[in-house]
Amino acid sequence: MPTTTLTEPHQILPTPLGGTLINAVSHAEPAAFAHLPRLELSERSYADLELLATGAYSPLTGFLGEADYLSVIEHMRLQNGTPWSIPITLPVTAAEAGGLRGMVALTRHGEVVGTIDVQEQFAARKAWEAREVYRTEDAGHAGVAALYAQGEINLAGPVTLLSVPRGEFPLHHRTPAEVREVIQARGWCSVVAFQTRNPIHRAHEYLHKVALELVDGLLLHPLVGTTKGDDVPAGTRVEAYEKLLAHYYPQSRTLLSVYPAAMRYAGPREAIIHALSRRNYGATHFIVGRDHAGVGNYYGTYDAQEIFHNFTHEELGIKILRFEHTFYCQSCGQMVSPRTCPHDASHHLTLSGTKVREKLRAGEALPPEFTRPEVAEVLRKAYAEAAD
């Protein structure tokens, strides 16, 4: 089935990247594709399929061909010059690739979930992709390890998705078109999006509320696709977000909606994709803080902010809000940043993600200066249940 596009009506929201919001959700019956060769998708590829078909990855209509793949790796742009920083590919083994030409049924756990019209096959340049996209060839990097584990052949071509998988969070799982509908219904003229794969703590809350002084609405858009094994599970995180928003945020100015992407941990390069896709969801602003999408010590503290200087505001179509590291200062008695606090580190309360997980595993309480009590309780219960 051919891909269609939704042309945006006259409105104040940013136009999707490329001018149109891709819609390749076919609503066809799986039985219609029973005669086709099949390819079982990984969790990441299934997430990419949804993001492609619902327009989150507009202007992409399918998995990248070789020319775009090479251009994205080298220039952070599609071949036509459109900003794009991470190759969205469909990797398979050489043995699998042999029988995959033309229309192929895509399956998840054996069930048909979509199709790809395979128009091209090409060899992945894994080492080069690792160096340029992840800035390291070290297999200790979670994203590089996943790249090395993939098949060596990439399939390219337009895709369709049979239905949107609402998954674990049906109340919060919205397509870009659906998020745009909510934004319009609420009359928001400006929207700041916030990406997170971690439970929200007081430093995040501080950023949100500073941003809400500037814009009409906050799109809290947590990533709920595949993450590292030691990251807090998505279900626990979403429960914590619900508690926090219910008690500490203005309901009329916030929207919790999940982002189904898998985490690549590509740091600066991933920050660009996170911003561009949020433009497609209708956001006008995007928060980039300390070590966005990073892992370990592979990236500089503010590399994910600096990389946006490679593009003009007109190209990005979304305003980047750059924030420095924020923390609770015991002498100031509030959340601050290096820009606003005169005290040295001995006055500051900061906890790394690793330290937070250690405290939770040990059954220790998280200080209220670090996170709200309701959030701390959700995390404490989740870790206690996991330990049983």
Per-residue pLDDT tens over the stretch 306-326: 999 999 999 999 999 999 989
pLDDT number for residue 221: 97
Per-residue pLDDT tens over the stretch 283-293: 999 999 999 99
pLDDT number for residue 386: 79
pLDDT number for residue 351: 83
204 vs 199, 263, 295, CA distance in Å? 9, 19, 18
Matching residue, tokens 């192929």 = 104
Look over the chain and give the mean of its residue pLDDT values, rounded to a whole number.
94
Pairing of strands 319-322, 285-288: parallel
373-387 vs 353-361: helix crossing angle, rounded to 10: 60
pLDDT number for residue 199: 86
pLDDT number for residue 1: 45
- According to CATH, where is 3.10.400.10 located in the chain? 4-161
pTM above 0.75, yes or no: yes
Q: How confident is the model at residue 137 (pLDDT cuts 50, 70, 90)?
A: very high
- Is the pLDDT at 3 greater than 70? The verdict is no
| Calculated CA dihedral for residues 79, 84, 88, 94, nearest 10 degrees | 40
Q: How confident is the model at residue 350 (pLDDT cuts 50, 70, 90)?
A: confident
* Count of CB atoms situated within 10 Å of the CB of 174: 24
264 vs 55, 103, 129, 130, 284, CA distance in Å? 19, 28, 13, 11, 24
User: Average pLDDT, stretch 127-138?
Assistant: 98
User: In this structure, are residues 155 and 48 in contact, taking their beta carbons and an 8 Å threshold?
Assistant: no
Which residue out of 44, 174, 197, 237 is catalytically annotated?
197
Cα distance between residue 260 and residue 146, in whole Å:
18
Per-residue pLDDT tens over the stretch 13-60: 899 999 999 999 999 999 999 999 999 999 999 999 999 999 999 999
- The CATH code for residues 176-387 is 3.40.50.620
- Is the pLDDT at 5 greater than 50? The verdict is no
pLDDT number for residue 356: 82
Which residue out of 198, 253, 310, 380 is catalytically annotated?
198
- According to CATH, where is 3.40.50.620 located in the chain? 176-387
Cα distance between residue 39 and residue 150, in whole Å:
14
User: In this structure, are residues 86 and 51 in contact, taking their beta carbons and an 8 Å threshold?
Assistant: no
Tell me if residue 180 is catalytic: no
Per-residue pLDDT tens over the stretch 74-106: 999 999 999 999 999 999 999 999 989 999 999
Tell me if residue 38 is catalytic: no
pLDDT number for residue 383: 86
Please give the share of the chain, as a percent, with pLDDT higher than 70: 97
Q: How confident is the model at residue 9 (pLDDT cuts 50, 70, 90)?
A: very low
User: Average pLDDT, stretch 127-139?
Assistant: 98
* Count of CB atoms situated within 10 Å of the CB of 180: 24
pLDDT number for residue 2: 43
Cα distance between residue 145 and residue 229, in whole Å:
13
User: Average pLDDT, stretch 171-176?
Assistant: 98
Pairing of strands 38-40, 102-108: parallel
* Superfamily covering domain 4-161: Sulfate adenylyltransferase (3.10.400.10)
381 Cβ neighbours under 8 A, 6+ residues apart = none
Per-residue pLDDT tens over the stretch 229-260: 878 889 999 999 999 999 999 999 999 999 99
Q: Which of 311, 283, 136 is nearest to 219 (CA)?
A: 283
pLDDT number for residue 352: 75
Q: Which of 176, 183, 168 is nearest to 239 (CA)?
A: 168
- Is the pLDDT at 143 greater than 50? The verdict is yes
Please give the share of the chain, as a percent, with pLDDT higher than 90: 85
- Is the pLDDT at 225 greater than 90? The verdict is yes
User: Using a CB cutoff of 8 Å and minimum separation of 24, what contacts does 364-371 make?
Assistant: 369/202, 369/328, 369/330, 370/201, 370/202, 370/328, 371/199, 371/200, 371/201, 371/202
